[in-house]
Amino acid sequence: MRGSLPGNTIPQETEQIRVKKEITVDSGEMQYLMDRSFVCPVCRKRFNSKCINSSKAVLEGWDTDLRPRYKGVDVSKYRVAECLSCGYAGIARYDSKIGEREKAAYKESGLKTLGGSDGNEGLRSYRGAYDGYRAALRCYIINNANHSVRGLTALYTAWLLRGWREALEKEGETVEVRDAMSLLAETRLLRYALYNFKKSELEESDALSDIGENVLNYIIAALSYMQGEYQVAEAYLRGILNSTEVRLRLFKQAKELQRLIRTSRRLDRQERLDRQEKDKKKIHGRAKA
Ligand SMILES: [Zn+2]
């Protein structure tokens, strides 16, 4: 794999985080959210956090890497739960799984996370949600969480940055390469996610069993495709397309990804041929002169 990142580095963690104009949180988001009660896995205190209410939120579609797009709310802003008592942060649905060793590692670290809620009745800005994800990634690294959880957290963070960038661009802002939500920052996170998913596949037997093998393989295929690794992507897709247990929606998504890969291959080949033709003409011209 090109430029894999070591598992203990959070992309962009050491860099200056530059944040553009903040997107105003639309209070209309509230209608798609609900309160969920959590017990902090570290300090055992109970707290509430907003999460998506799937009976109210309307799903409009998915990106190639399965990022869901809901009407009127970006679900990526509401995936991290943070305990305001001890600062522990994590992807809400995996937090009950941390063990004694991980708890001790977190307590010893003395880490106090930044807090992702903006005090606006639990509604989240992109900036606040981004702080929450960075806190969760740091907690998972301290805990030495398994690769699948790290990969998923990085994937969700990348989706948040994509939504943030789209929201800014919709308001006429230009996102530059050094901005926190740049395409480069998103790509680094996707690469980190891919690295961790592949490690997980090799080393962790029942990782992300709630997501399912076909979905995980599809995500690996999509992330490989997005990084130009067409051969790897196709290998993972073959497994899905030949599976007897694949759901129709995922099957269709896999077919679409296969079509995208073929188009990209064709374009790459054409570009190469055009370049060769140009070089040939240049050499020919020079020989004449
Ligand atoms: Zn706590």
Contacts of residue 123, defined as CB under 8 A and 6 or more positions apart, other chains included, come to 25, 27, 29, 30, 33, 50, 117
Report how far ligand 1's centroid is from the alpha carbon of 210 (Å): 25
Which one of 190, 207, 224 terminates a domain? 207
Structural domain for 271, as ranges: 212-289
How many Cβ atoms from other residues are within 10 Å of residue 115's Cβ? Answer: 16
Residue 148 and residue 225 in one domain:
no
Q: Which structure tokens are listed for 279? A: 């070089």
Residue 8 lies in a domain: no
Report how far ligand 1's centroid is from the alpha carbon of 7 (Å): 25
Residue 59 and residue 176 in one domain:
yes
Whether residue 78 has pLDDT greater than 70: yes
Residue 67 and residue 167 in one domain:
yes
Residue 261 lies in a domain: yes
Task: Write out pLDDT tens, residues 141-150.
Answer: 887 888 888 8
Q: Are 133 and 160 in contact (CB under 8 A)?
A: yes
Total domains, the chain: 2
C-alpha dist (Å) from residue 205 to 4, 16, 164, 232: 22, 37, 34, 21
Report how far ligand 1's centroid is from the alpha carbon of 84 (Å): 7
Residue 227 and residue 189 in one domain:
no
Report how far ligand 1's centroid is from the alpha carbon of 25 (Å): 26
12: phi then psi, degrees, rounded to nearest 5 = 75, 0
Whether residue 9 has pLDDT greater than 80: no
Among 84-88, 204-208, 263-267, name the one with the lowest average pLDDT.
Answer: 204-208
Whether residue 220 has pLDDT greater than 50: yes
Which one of 167, 192, 207 terminates a domain? 207
Task: Write out pLDDT tens, residues 29-72.
Answer: 999 999 999 888 888 889 888 999 989 999 999 999 999 999 99
Residue 199 and residue 259 in one domain:
no
Whether residue 273 has pLDDT greater than 70: yes
- Summary mean pLDDT of the chain: 85
Residue 202 and residue 176 in one domain:
yes
- What is the model's pTM? 0.85
Task: Find the mean pLDDT for residues 13-35.
Answer: 76
Residue 42 and residue 125 in one domain:
yes
Give residues whose Cβ lies within 5 Å of ion ligand 1: 40, 42-43, 83, 85-86, 88
Which one of 162, 179, 207 terminates a domain? 207
Residue 68 lies in a domain: yes
Residue 3 lies in a domain: no
Residue 165 lies in a domain: yes
